Structure 1
């Protein structure tokens, strides 16, 4: 074939398409109907229902609305059943807006410190360019959630309710990005860390003001009182966020570790990894994860659910997904049949060729076991209750293996040899590695 596209070649392409009746039928169908409707595999759809043998959820789902806070919602959703039980109420929500405020503010400081650290590099250095590409997005990872809870505590949703901008973060993020990139320009022009940190303090004053305008002011203390499900009145009195978290977080979040499935040859199993400049709270423990085999990841998730605990996880949510049905299955859509071709990248190759990364975090709240093996998984999403089973989705086990990347489990759940590996010095991946993707 010639280097350029010639008129003769274009004619051959058109002739090849026109000569096959199947292609013309598909053209007629797809030009009038969404391709996902055409490619939806009816046999897969009829094989799925929302029932599972082991079910934990007995509460309503939450709604992140037009924001990328899924990782915060999933983290708080993991904690809220224990809090609801301790409070004696049917349903309860921690304030997602409260953690959003502190994540934005901490992340602004984290970004500006990274700018100071890399100020001697050229602005188109790959790491600098990566930092500048999205200095203040909504997404995050498990360790970042823990860092916020550890430092800032938690409050009930009534103490810092949602605002227009917490539920739709685009305009807030646009203002913050402008200010932080402008701040990066200023910091890179200054000589000496003392001068840079002085300017950083001025920048953070502005960032705090913008966040307060959009999200409200985080309470330092609040009067906490409530009625339980029996309509009995309770009052804790004036409470700090740290005190509230200490009293109503019933899971030991500091004991949870992050496991990933990264099948690339460059990422050996049984090794810990971190990603350069990944985090939100300066001086918090780094984002570290242990790479494990998929079968172990499934077993640990299954064991946690059977033992009564939901499981926080991260995945590439948009692959082979039906929002109308609330289903995920690795073979839900037969796009190959529609296009008369094959899609042959495996999970490792998809990572290497930028075809996949973690995009969303949710909660496993159930598993359907047949002869001790998982057949499907129940998922608490944070997209409201209008889809799926009142907002609870169903994931076939085939999808778990292909598109789930990360789970958080108790350290003690791991085999002893892997627990020991958690103390190894982590391999540092570059800032742009796909395993540093933030779920939103």
Structure 2
């Protein structure tokens, strides 16, 4: 019912949204003599803000058409290397001629960036992908919005997620490197453990876990406490709703993205309110550059996707309530997941000092679980002064975190000549 009410509210606001758009065009028209008056700028700003707050935010474009390699521009093309109803494996292929001109003709390490399936689209990692493209062959998991997947394509749960990670590593080929950003950490570690135990030729050469809830019992955050405070039945009864028509997945039961977005916003509500007030003032002052930066951020932040009922509830149950992986009790398709049997896969963990989603120690816990790894294949790093988002994006990620990941990947890559690093 809540999902239907949400959709009804969106359509009910359409006439006012259309009026706001017409008002915005009228007060911004160069033919309007009152355009530059205080009244004109105020009405334009108010109309623009209302139109943006009530519109539908679709999946953003990647916008990664070019990357700088050794100071030279290299064309980039996004291709679908493998797909299922629930995920597309994107390969950001760099132009070979451009790489050769930059002195990068030799093959470089392949990296699979596993994007979180926790409410936002994979494009949230645009900056992460751009950084890795300078030195790697980059693949990214582009997860589907559950409301767009017809019921006929079946369910998708936490263990399907593990299987898809294994499938995509098989598509990429032997000894790629995996970078798991936030939520995928437990599933990626489980996939690596299963592939390692099977001596699968496509097992990764290294895994990098960034701000991941490997053991959510440690340094609990507001998110962790919420999961602990409510019984599992509460999440079943209050967080799951059926997708309404006319979406392709009509009838599928999901955890709606707009509920997750409301949770994100409520954690820093005053900051978001202040940001929109500042945006309004920027428009009224004619500060278009600053207003554009605001739009770029919120075009991404307000674009959300739905999670399937089974994936969301299993994640709550197995990762945030029963802690099956760190307790050695996670079972996948009848097999116990044994991270301690990982013997030749490098492990790098990265945490943010001010992370309010995955507290300090939650990601580092992977080292204790992977106790079969020799010390030279393990590395842990805590980045001072950054929160959850700063672990994988922004200035400090590019300047301080990414170089460490790059060096670790080259050190653990069996086919990479370190003299070229």
TM-score, scaled relative to structure 1: 0.24
TM-score, scaled relative to structure 2: 0.25
Larger gyration radius, structure 1 or structure 2:
1
Higher relative contact order (CA 8 A, sep 6+): 1
